[in-house]
Chains A and B, each alone.
Chain A
Amino acid sequence: MALLTVEGLNKFYGKNHVLKSITFDIHPGDLIGLVGPNGSGKSTLMRSVLNLEPIKEGTIRLLGEIKKEDTKFFKYLTFLPSENHLYDHLTGRDHMAFIANVHSLDRNCINKVIDKVGIGGYVDQTVKSYSYGMRQRLLIALSILPEPKLIFMDEPFNGLDPTSVIELKQLVRELNQEGITLMISTHNLNILQDLTNDIWFIKDGALNKSYQKESLVYLIEIDESDVEYVKTEIAGSNIDINEDKNTLIIKDKSQLNNYLQVLIRKNINIKSVNENRTSLEQTYKEIYEIS
Chain B
Amino acid sequence: MHTFKIILKSILKSKMSLLIPGILILITTIILFINMFESGQTKEALLAQQEERMVPLDFVISQFYAKESDVGLTEMDEEVRTNLETQFDLVSSMYRKLEENNMDISSEIIRYVNEYETYDRYEGYIQIESMDQLAVQKEKAEIINAHGIEYIEEEMPYNSSLFALQIMNLFLNPITLLFLLLIVNFKFTSDQRNKIFEWMQLNSVSKKNISFSFLGAFVLTTIMYALIIMVVSLLPMIITGNFQTIHYPVELFTNDGTSFIAAWKLLLYIPIGWMVFAIMILYINVIFIKITQSASFAFILSVLIMGSLYIVNYNFGLQIWNPIHLLINYEIDLFVQYAFVDFLIIILILTAIIQILGFFLLKLNFSFQIKYNNNFRQSLYKPSRHFKLLSFEALRKKRNHTLSLSVAIVSILALAYYFNIDQEYHEIPEIYHEALTDYRDELIRNGAAQETLLLESELSLENAKNSGAEDSTIEEIEDATNLYSQMVDDTAYYIDEINALLENIGSADFNEEYRALFETIREDYGGYEIADETGPSVSDLSTDEMNEYFEENQIEPRPIGDTQISNFGNPNKNTEFFASADSDLHIAFYENNRDISNDTMFTVQKFFQHHIPLLLTILFVLIIWSSFSDVYKPNGVYDFIFTKPFTERMVLFSKWCFNLLSTYILLLIGAIILIAISAALGGIGSLNYPIVIYEHESLYATSTEYSTYAPLDEVFYRLDTISTVLMEASVILFLVVFFTASLHAVIGRFSKHHYVTSLVTLAVIAIGYASTLFYTEASWMWLNPFIYFDVWDVADGWQSIVVNDPRVNFANGAIILTILSVVLLIIGLISNRKRAM
Q: Is B385 an interface residue (CB 8 A)?
A: yes
Bound together, the chains give a CA A98 to CA B385 distance in angstroms of 10
CB of B617, distance to nearest CB on chain A (Å): 24
Bound together, the chains give a CA A100 to CA B385 distance in angstroms of 10
Q: A79 with B377: in contact, given A54-B835, A94-B395 (CB under 8 Å)? A: no
Bitwise, B340-377 to A at CB < 8 A (1) or not (0) is 00000000000000000000000000000000000001
CB of B623, distance to nearest CB on chain A (Å): 15
**Which of B232-240, B635-643, B664-672 sits within the interface?**
B635-643
**B643 and A102 within 8 A (CB):** no
**A90 and B395 within 8 A (CB):** yes
**B381 and A71 within 8 A (CB):** no
Bitwise, A63-95 to B at CB < 8 A (1) or not (0) is 000000101111101110101011101110110
CB of B744, distance to nearest CB on chain A (Å): 21
Residues of A within 8 A of B834 (CB): 54
Pick from B637, B646, B650: contact of A85, CB under 8 Å: B637
**A85 and B392 within 8 A (CB):** no
Q: Is A101 an interface residue (CB 8 A)?
A: yes
Bound together, the chains give a CA A51 to CA B638 distance in angstroms of 12
Residues of B within 8 A of A73 (CB): 645
**A89 and B396 within 8 A (CB):** yes
CB of B454, distance to nearest CB on chain A (Å): 82
**B388 and A101 within 8 A (CB):** yes
Q: Is B400 an interface residue (CB 8 A)?
A: yes
**B399 and A86 within 8 A (CB):** no
Bound together, the chains give a CA A52 to CA B644 distance in angstroms of 11
Q: Is B383 an interface residue (CB 8 A)?
A: yes
**B392 and A98 within 8 A (CB):** yes
Bitwise, A221-236 to B at CB < 8 A (1) or not (0) is 0000000000000000
**B643 and A94 within 8 A (CB):** no
Bound together, the chains give a CA A117 to CA B168 distance in angstroms of 58
Residues of B within 8 A of A83 (CB): 635, 639
Bound together, the chains give a CA A83 to CA B634 distance in angstroms of 11
Bitwise, B798-820 to A at CB < 8 A (1) or not (0) is 00000000000000000000000
Pick from A85, A93, A103: contact of B381, CB under 8 Å: A93
**B399 and A102 within 8 A (CB):** no
Residues of B within 8 A of A53 (CB): 835
User: Nearest chain-A residue to B378 (Cβ)?
Assistant: A91
**B640 and A85 within 8 A (CB):** yes
Q: Which of A74, A79, A89, A93 has the largest number of chain B CB atoms within 10 A?
A: A89
Q: A90 with B399: in contact, given A54-B835, A104-B385 (CB under 8 Å)? A: yes
Q: Is A126 an interface residue (CB 8 A)?
A: yes
CB of B833, distance to nearest CB on chain A (Å): 10
**A85 and B399 within 8 A (CB):** no
**B399 and A81 within 8 A (CB):** no
CB of A204, distance to nearest CB on chain B (Å): 21
Q: A87 with B645: in contact, given A53-B835, A101-B388, A124-B377 (CB under 8 Å)? A: no
Q: Is B574 an interface residue (CB 8 A)?
A: no
Bound together, the chains give a CA A72 to CA B382 distance in angstroms of 24
Q: Is B206 an interface residue (CB 8 A)?
A: no
Q: Is B499 an interface residue (CB 8 A)?
A: no
Bound together, the chains give a CA A100 to CA B644 distance in angstroms of 11
**B636 and A103 within 8 A (CB):** no
Q: Is B82 an interface residue (CB 8 A)?
A: no
Interface size on A, residues (CB 8 A): 35
Q: Is B520 an interface residue (CB 8 A)?
A: no
Q: A74 with B645: in contact, given A52-B835, A101-B383 (CB under 8 Å)? A: yes
CB of B753, distance to nearest CB on chain A (Å): 15
**A50 and B643 within 8 A (CB):** yes
A residues 35-62 near B (Cβ < 8 Å) are 50-54
Q: Is A153 an interface residue (CB 8 A)?
A: no
CB of B639, distance to nearest CB on chain A (Å): 4
Q: A97 with B383: in contact, given A85-B636, A86-B640, A90-B395 (CB under 8 Å)? A: yes
Pick from B377, B637, B638: contact of A87, CB under 8 Å: B637
Q: Which of B384, B391, B636, B639 has the largest number of chain A CB atoms within 10 A?
A: B639
- Interface extent on B, as a size class? 20 to 34
**B635 and A71 within 8 A (CB):** no
Bound together, the chains give a CA A133 to CA B132 distance in angstroms of 83
Bound together, the chains give a CA A98 to CA B389 distance in angstroms of 9
**B647 and A94 within 8 A (CB):** no
Pick from A71, A90, A97, A99: contact of B396, CB under 8 Å: A90
Bound together, the chains give a CA A90 to CA B834 distance in angstroms of 27
Q: Which of B383, B396, B647 has the largest number of chain A CB atoms within 10 A?
A: B383
Bound together, the chains give a CA A131 to CA B345 distance in angstroms of 56
**A74 and B644 within 8 A (CB):** yes
Bound together, the chains give a CA A211 to CA B400 distance in angstroms of 49
CB of B650, distance to nearest CB on chain A (Å): 8
**A126 and B399 within 8 A (CB):** yes
Q: A52 with B643: in contact, given A85-B636, A90-B395 (CB under 8 Å)? A: yes
Bound together, the chains give a CA A89 to CA B399 distance in angstroms of 6
**B378 and A124 within 8 A (CB):** yes
**A89 and B400 within 8 A (CB):** yes
User: Nearest chain-B residue to A69 (Cβ)?
Assistant: B647
**B646 and A102 within 8 A (CB):** yes
**A101 and B636 within 8 A (CB):** no
User: Nearest chain-A residue to B193 (Cβ)?
Assistant: A126
Bound together, the chains give a CA A98 to CA B391 distance in angstroms of 9
Bound together, the chains give a CA A73 to CA B377 distance in angstroms of 36
**B642 and A71 within 8 A (CB):** no
Residues of B within 8 A of A74 (CB): 643-645
Pick from B377, B378, B639, B646: contact of A81, CB under 8 Å: B639
Bound together, the chains give a CA A103 to CA B388 distance in angstroms of 10
Bound together, the chains give a CA A29 to CA B635 distance in angstroms of 33
Bitwise, B607-623 to A at CB < 8 A (1) or not (0) is 00000000000000000
CB of B301, distance to nearest CB on chain A (Å): 27
Bound together, the chains give a CA A51 to CA B644 distance in angstroms of 11
Pick from B377, B381, B635, B642: contact of A98, CB under 8 Å: B381
**B642 and A52 within 8 A (CB):** yes
**B381 and A102 within 8 A (CB):** no
Q: A79 with B835: in contact, given A94-B381, A97-B381, A101-B385 (CB under 8 Å)? A: no
Residues of B within 8 A of A142 (CB): 640
User: Nearest chain-B residue to A101 (Cβ)?
Assistant: B383
Q: Which of B385, B640, B647, B834 has the largest number of chain A CB atoms within 10 A?
A: B640
**A85 and B639 within 8 A (CB):** yes
**A71 and B640 within 8 A (CB):** no
User: Nearest chain-A residue to B396 (Cβ)?
Assistant: A87
Bound together, the chains give a CA A73 to CA B645 distance in angstroms of 7
Pick from A54, A79, A86, A103: contact of B643, CB under 8 Å: A79
User: Nearest chain-A residue to B392 (Cβ)?
Assistant: A98
CB of B626, distance to nearest CB on chain A (Å): 12
User: Nearest chain-B residue to A103 (Cβ)?
Assistant: B645
Residues of A within 8 A of B637 (CB): 85-87
**B383 and A75 within 8 A (CB):** no
Residues of A within 8 A of B395 (CB): 90, 94, 98
Bitwise, B816-837 to A at CB < 8 A (1) or not (0) is 0000000000000000001100
Bound together, the chains give a CA A79 to CA B380 distance in angstroms of 25
Residues of B within 8 A of A97 (CB): 380-383
User: Nearest chain-A residue to B384 (Cβ)?
Assistant: A101
Residues of A within 8 A of B835 (CB): 52-54
Could you pull out 19 A-B pairs where Cβ atoms are within 8 angstroms?
A: A52-B639, A52-B835, A54-B835, A71-B647, A78-B643, A83-B639, A85-B637, A85-B638, A87-B640, A89-B399, A90-B381, A90-B396, A93-B378, A97-B380, A99-B644, A101-B384, A101-B391, A102-B388, A102-B646
Contacts from A to B (Cβ < 8 Å) = 50-54, 69, 71-75, 77-79, 81, 83, 85-87, 89-91, 93-94, 97-104, 124, 126, 142
**Given A90-B399, A126-B193; 17 other pairs, CB 8 A cutoff:** A50-B643, A52-B639, A52-B642, A74-B644, A77-B643, A85-B640, A89-B396, A91-B399, A93-B378, A94-B399, A97-B383, A99-B644, A101-B385, A101-B391, A101-B392, A102-B644, A126-B378
List 8 A-B pairs, minimum CB-CB distance, nearest first. Answer: A101-B383, A89-B400, A81-B639, A79-B643, A74-B645, A89-B399, A71-B645, A94-B381
